[in-house]
Chains A and B, each alone.
Chain A
Amino acid sequence: MNNMKIKIRQALGSTFPVLVMLLALSSCNTDETQTVATFDNLVLEDDFNTDGVIDTTIWNFDIGDGTAQGIPGWGNNELQYYTDRPDNATVENGFLLITAKQEDFNGAQYTSARLQTKNKFQQQYGRFEARIRLPYGQGMWPAFWLLGDDSDGSIWPQIGEIDIMENVGDEPTQIFGTVHGPGYSGAESVSKNYTLENTRVDTEFHVYGIEWGPNYINYYIDDVLYNQITPEDIEEETNGQGEWVFNDRPFYIILNVAVGGNLPGPPNAETEFPQTMLVDYVRVYQQ
């Protein structure tokens, strides 16, 4: 527990002053008086430190190609079949490994894994971050994202979706952060990308995170705040049609590597398999 506190302090000490500075510098979009909440209370941490063990008190596996969930291809014509086999998801050397493989499996050409925390860890607001090294190659679609709790019977996009980090494997220096809600979902979602200079997402670990409070979501990569989304932005981008649904409910975490689908397109002959996403840690803080 002591160790954990030290870690938190280090993380906050190094990151927050920079964020505050950046906020001060980049406060041109919406509100000159926007505030940064200090989410300094660590409430979830998985450092993936036990080889071969995925902590099932935190994580569930989504299995299959989405058909059983009523969304074949997981709603995006994705090509992979998710499994809970160690081939597709395991812990090694302090990292969670999610591996996309090319293999015939239950009618699919590819396998991969998708881990989520539904009903095991859900939270409204806070700082959600993960340190990740991504796979590469045409057709790869890794993501670290949040979905709203749907136990009240609401359905997507009413429940809301916060994509903390997505990447397509043929753009190894770009990531993007996105929100989906009623009036701005799928291809109409509100999104911003960020281009890394002199480095890549598949050769280095980067920290991807959001700070989410009432009426704002701040997106950052490493120590760079690159976007803030507020109800005003949603209103502006949707001509007043979109509804801010991020003050309504707790959200849960998803980590996955999709293969193919509407966004990246299918792998091609040059795509190298297997491809692995390495997650060093996932941490969530609240106020």
Chain B
Amino acid sequence: MKKINNINKVLTLLAVLSVMFACERGLSDDVEFASFPTTGDIYTDAPVGLTDEFFVSFDPAGGANTEGFGTDDNIAFEGTSSIRIDVPAPNDPNGGFIGGIFLDRGTGRDLSGYDALTFWARASTTATVGLFGFGTDFQENKYSVGKLDTQLSTDWRKYTIPIPDASKLIQEKGMFIFSAGTNSTNGFGFTFWIDELRFENLGTVAQPRPQIFSGQDIVQQAFTDTTIEITGLTQTFNIEDGSNVTVEAAPSYFDFESSNIDVAFVNELGQISVIGEGTAIITAQLNGVLAEGSLEITTTGPFQFAPVPTQDPASVVSLFSDAYVDIPVSRYNSFFEPFQNTLGGVLPVANQSIISYTNLNFVGIVFNDVIFPAEAVPPVNATGLTTLHIDINVQEAVQSGDRLLLQLTNYGATETVGSYLINGSELAQDTWASFDIPLSSFSGLSDRSRIGLLLFNSEDGPDNPTISNLFLDNIYFY
């Protein structure tokens, strides 16, 4: 009887234990992930969990100053030391700006329990620092995050850079990134200090509002066998002080979706591959929140390029063509202020490129040393040339009254302008029209020794543009 009792007790105990173990095993099976250090601190009075070589500068060959980075044992927000960054003047022989990353040279950290990078900073003068962020490791930069243009004050203040989706950061090596120049200080160098740099779980980073394409819903034509990059990727949070903070977020934070994967699909780098005919809408989510902005593309097939030029390269001076080597051009869209409305410019298509202008009223291709001195290039001496070639493809229905005035400007002792009018009847929608225009037909162009501007004007009278959208290709003199 006693034995039985004991057996009962044992059985009961076993039963209890097995229930307990069953529970425990169920849990442990689920949570057995390989894990990395969860250290949040990056710099307090010394680098935390980093080697002494934690700062990796941007490439000095690109102008980065490696001399201005250090620590300061005389100034600290808390404790005894801070990071000191001396921002150089643009003409500093050691480099005209400063920036780089703090790299975890170990296995990386698990930051999934945090919601923001925070630090305290002050500057020697009120100044704007171009970039603060994290996630850049100078390798894949897969989860890079950047907050642009943060204004620092001359007293210590706390700054918060939200993590777009911390669940992605289970092995991150890019602890911090900054880049600073003197744009906001009129070219004068300044110093700023950073202290108490760490990842934190604030619990007050809220109201996520991600965007792609800067929140725009874009509709455009696309061509098979081309790639379109998703731009304008941001995440916005409302933080503790009630302000909204927007950061640029790497594509890998987003989950992209195509409504029709027979037409287009998106990889994790935000590149849209257009593979078939039809319509697809590209959208994205970030941590389950639908991003504002989308792209609707309609594809009717591969891009129809203009006829391949046949002129002998030896007799050609090319402004824009994949068939020839182009001369230096300062702008393919002049962006003349304030009356030019035209947008667009060079557009890569498949493995070539064309010029695409939208919202056209007038626009220039600029290749001279007069209009934009900072971008000066030699003008064209066309005294030995006879003809201007250009291919034009109108991207809208051509209507009666449509016109496109071509103007060449010669920058001689005096500026002279020659004009040639193309009528809408000579153009057609979605079709390449090729023109070989004798330079002698540009009425008024007496001197051709310093031609430096080709202007396209679709206006029929002031503020009355006719053709708004067109493609151009193969623009050359011969």
**Contact residues of A with B, CB < 8 Å?**
136-138, 169-173, 197-200, 202-203, 270, 272
Decide if B204 is an interface residue (CB 8 Å cutoff): yes
A171: chain B residues at CB < 8 Å are 241-242
A80 to chain B, nearest CB (A): 20
**Nearest CB of A to B373, in Å:** 38
Q: Are A172 and B204 in contact (CB under 8 A)?
A: yes
In contact, B207 and A136 (Cβ under 8 angstroms): yes
In the complex, per-residue mask of B225-267: 1 if CB is within 8 Å of any chain A CB, else 0? 0000000000000101111100000000000000000000000
The reply on B122 being an interface residue by CB < 8 A is no
The interface residues of chain A lying within 8 Å CB-to-CB of B206 are: 136, 172, 200, 202-203
How many angstroms from the CA of A22 to the CA of B243 in the assembled complex? Answer: 33
Contacts of B244 in A (CB 8 A): 270
- Judged by a CB distance under 8 angstroms, whether B62 is at the interface is no
B239 to chain A minimum Cβ distance, whole angstroms, is 8
- The residue in chain A whose Cβ has the minimal distance to the Cβ of B242 is A170
Given A198-B204, A199-B203, A200-B204, decide whether A173 and B209 contact each other with a Cβ distance below 8 A: no
Tell me, yes or no, whether B202 is within 8 Å of chain A by CB.
yes
Smallest beta-carbon distance A205→chain B, Å: 14
Q: Which of A170, A200, A272 has the largest count of B CB atoms less than 10 A from its CB?
A: A200
Inter-chain contacts of A138 with B (CB < 8 A): 242
Interface of B is mostly: loop
A78 and B379 CA atoms in complex are apart in Å by 63
B 461-474 to A, binary, CB cutoff 8 A, 1 in contact else 0: 00000000000000
Contact call A172/B242, Cβ cutoff below 8 A: yes
The bracket for how many chain B residues form the interface is 10 to 19
10 A-B pairs with least C-beta separation = A198-B203, A170-B242, A203-B206, A199-B203, A200-B204, A270-B244, A171-B242, A200-B206, A173-B240, A172-B242
Q: What B residues does A137 contact at CB under 8 A? A: 238
A-B residue pair count with CB separations less than 8 angstroms: 37
Smallest CB–CB gap between B204 and chain A, Å? 5
Q: How far is the CA of A272 from the CA of B241 in the complex (A)?
A: 16
Q: Which of B91-143 contact A (CB under 8 A)?
A: none
B183 to chain A, nearest CB (A): 25
Sample of 7 A–B contacts (CB below 8 Å): A136-B238, A170-B243, A172-B204, A172-B238, A173-B204, A202-B206, A272-B207
Query: What's the Cα separation between A138 and B241 when bound, in Å?
Result: 11
B202 proximity list for chain A (CB < 8 A): 198
Give Cα A203–Cα B208 distance, bound, in whole angstroms: 11
Nearest residue (CB) in A for B243 is: A170
Q: How far is the CA of A170 from the CA of B240 in the complex (A)?
A: 9
Partner of A169, one of B204, B240, B241, B242: B242
Point out which of A173, A199, A272 has the most chain B C-beta atoms below 10 A from its C-beta.
Answer: A173
Asked whether A272 lies within 8 Å of B204 as measured between CB atoms, the reply is no
A259 CA to B244 CA, complexed, in Å: 19
Q: How far is it, in angstroms, between the C-alpha of A281 and the C-alpha of B206 when the chains are bound?
A: 24
Minimum CB–CB distance from B201 to chain A (whole Å) comes to 8
Establish whether residues B203 and A172, one from each chain, have CB atoms under 8 Å apart when the complex forms. Answer: no
Q: Which residues of B contact A272 (CB under 8 A)?
A: 207, 209
Query: Shortest CB–CB separation between residue B260 and chain A, in angstroms?
Result: 31
Tell me the nearest residue of chain B to A170, going by C-beta: B242
In the bound complex, what is the Cα–Cα distance between A137 and B238 (angstroms)?
9
Contact B204 A199 (CB under 8 A): yes
Measured CB to CB, the nearest residue on chain A to B236 is A270
| Interface-centre pick from B203, B209, B241, B243 (highest chain A CB count, 10 A) | B203
Q: What residue of chain B has the Cβ atom nearest to residue A171's Cβ?
A: B242
Task: Give the shortest distance, in Å, between A197 (CB) and chain B (any CB).
Answer: 8
Q: How far is the CA of A171 from the CA of B204 in the complex (A)?
A: 11
Q: Which B439-476 residues have a C-beta within 8 angstroms of A? A: none
Extra pairs beyond A172-B240, A198-B202 (20, CB < 8 Å): A136-B206, A136-B238, A136-B242, A137-B238, A169-B242, A170-B242, A171-B242, A172-B204, A172-B238, A172-B242, A173-B240, A197-B203, A198-B203, A199-B203, A200-B204, A200-B240, A202-B206, A202-B238, A203-B207, A270-B244
Most A CB contacts (10 A, CB to CB) among B202, B206, B242, B244 go to B242
B164-202 with Cβ < 8 A to chain A:
201-202
Question: Considering the chains assembled together, what is the distance between the CA atoms of A127 and B204 in angstroms?
Answer: 29
Inter-chain contacts of A170 with B (CB < 8 A): 242-243
Q: Which residues of B contact A169 (CB under 8 A)?
A: 242
CB distance from A112 to the nearest CB of B (A): 19
Which residues of chain A are within 8 angstroms of B242 by Cβ–Cβ distance? 136, 138, 169-172
Closest CB-CB distance, A2 to chain B, in whole Å?
Answer: 32
Chain A residues near B238: list those with CB within 8 A. 136-137, 172, 202
Within 8 A of A (CB), among B197-227: 201-204, 206-207, 209
